[in-house]
């Protein structure tokens, strides 16, 4: 599977993070202007927490600076600032963010997209199809959100625009059956990837979460080792609640990665680190706007560079 062509666009990430940069970046800079003493470190930890890094990551990052200061009390504020940046990059690089690779004979790659209503699932299915198509991959999408007719139409419109195949169910039909049919069709048409859209569901509603498990099993029956990716779509503007969503989804349907959408709509951005650190699940893609090409593979260095300056 040739997916290594994905490259993060610096300009796209820069533009998406402009709100976060002007809030987070500016504040961090000012925190690192004076003397780095215990009071400053406390302020730093509090600020990181406020911009969604979560308790654990805020502590870890602050402790790193505290330790540095103990070992080298003569460092300049700039040195601490650079240390924070580079530690954040290495912290975000702990989990591989590339899509899984599978051998040719196991194609198509099956990607199941799950998440709460309105987080950007259907849009992300379209964006991901676009990315794959850019890399000359033959993609088929499955409209397995049979809950609302509008959801099927929404994906159909995208598929039409992108000129890719779609397999859809009728409204209220069994989403697991739609996924099964889509996978069969994709195999017959020798597709490289199938992306399955699903209905939005609240992570607190057990029967809906069990339905997701049924869709997953259906993908597994109709494919070779699939679903190879189960990607949870999270809205970056929901802050810490995103962690709870991820925990619940992960419990019912083991996740392989996160698509973090709407980063263009938040002034915070720390949630990227909190998700990876607290759940051990990598952020694989970020949503940077509403257009079809507003998706980027997550690249820690590009992300941190654009968050800080
Ligand atoms: N600004 C912004 N809007 C997004 C992004 N991703 C999705 N959206 C918007 O979020 C809304 C809900 O998206 P949709 O894909 O229908 O969500 P779903 O219910 O999870 O399928 C739509 O208006 C999308 O255009 C993103 O990365 N940035
Ligand atoms: Mg949808």
Tens digit of each residue's pLDDT (9 = 90 or more) over 117-166: 999 999 999 999 999 999 999 999 999 999 888 999 999 999 999 999 99
Q: Which atom of ligand 1 is nearest to the CA of 261?
A: 27
pLDDT at residue 26 tops 90: no
Q: Is the CB of 200 under 6 A from ligand 1?
A: yes
62-117 pLDDT, tens per residue?
999 999 999 998 899 889 999 999 999 999 999 988 999 999 999 999 999 999 99
What is the whole-number distance in angstroms between the Cα of residue 87 and the centre of ligand 2? 36
Q: Which pTM does this prediction carry?
A: 0.95
Q: Which atom of ligand 1 is nearest to the CA of 295?
A: 27
Contact 194, 140 (CB under 8 A): yes
Contact 11, 301 (CB under 8 A): no
Mean pLDDT of the chain: 93
What is the whole-number distance in angstroms between the Cα of residue 208 and the centre of ligand 2? 15
pLDDT interval class at 2 (50, 70, 90): very low
Spatial strand order of the sheet with 295-297 comes to: 165-168, 139-144, 193-198, 109-115, 229-235, 257-261, 283-287, 295-297
Per-residue pLDDT, 62: 97
Distance CA 84, CA 64 (A): 8
- Please state, for a pLDDT cut of 70, what percent of the chain lies above it: 97
pLDDT interval class at 1 (50, 70, 90): very low
- CA of 60: how far to CAs of 41, 56, 199, 208, in Å? 12, 6, 37, 36
């Amino acid at each position: 599977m040739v997916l290594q062509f994905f490259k993060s666009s610096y300009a796209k990430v820069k533009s998406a993070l402009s709100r976060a940069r002007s809030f987070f970046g500016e504040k961090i800079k000012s925190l690192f202007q004076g003397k780095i003493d215990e009071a400053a470190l406390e302020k730093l930890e509090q600020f990181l927490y406020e911009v969604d890094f979560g308790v654990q990551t805020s502590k870890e990052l602050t402790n790193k600076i505290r330790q540095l200061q103990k070992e080298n009390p003569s460092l300049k504020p700039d040195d601490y600032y650079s240390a924070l940046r580079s530690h954040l990059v290495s912290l975000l690089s702990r989990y591989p963010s590339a899509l899984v690779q599978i051998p040719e004979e196991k194609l198509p790659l099956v990607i199941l997209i799950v998440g709460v209503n309105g987080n950007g699932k259907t849009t992300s299915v379209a964006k991901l199809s676009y990315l794959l198509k850019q890399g000359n991959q033959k993609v088929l999408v499955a409209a397995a959100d049979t809950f609302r007719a509008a959801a099927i139409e929404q994906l159909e419109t995208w598929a039409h625009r992108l000129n890719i195949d779609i397999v859809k169910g009728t409204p209220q039909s069994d989403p697991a059956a739609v996924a099964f049919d889509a996978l069969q069709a994709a195999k017959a048409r020798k597709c490289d990837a199938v992306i399955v859209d699903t209905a939005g569901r609240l992570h607190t509603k057990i029967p809906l979460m069990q339905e997701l498990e049924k869709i997953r099993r259906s993908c597994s029956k109709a494919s070779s080792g699939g679903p190879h990716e189960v990607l949870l779509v999270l809205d970056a503007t929901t802050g810490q609640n995103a962690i709870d969503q991820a925990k619940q989804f992960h419990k019912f349907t083991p996740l392989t990665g996160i698509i973090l959408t709407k980063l263009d709509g938040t002034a915070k951005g720390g949630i990227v680190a909190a998700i990876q650190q607290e759940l051990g699940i990598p952020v694989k893609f970020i949503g940077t706007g509403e257009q079809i090409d507003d998706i980027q593979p997550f690249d820690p260095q590009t992300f941190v560079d654009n968050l800080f300056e």
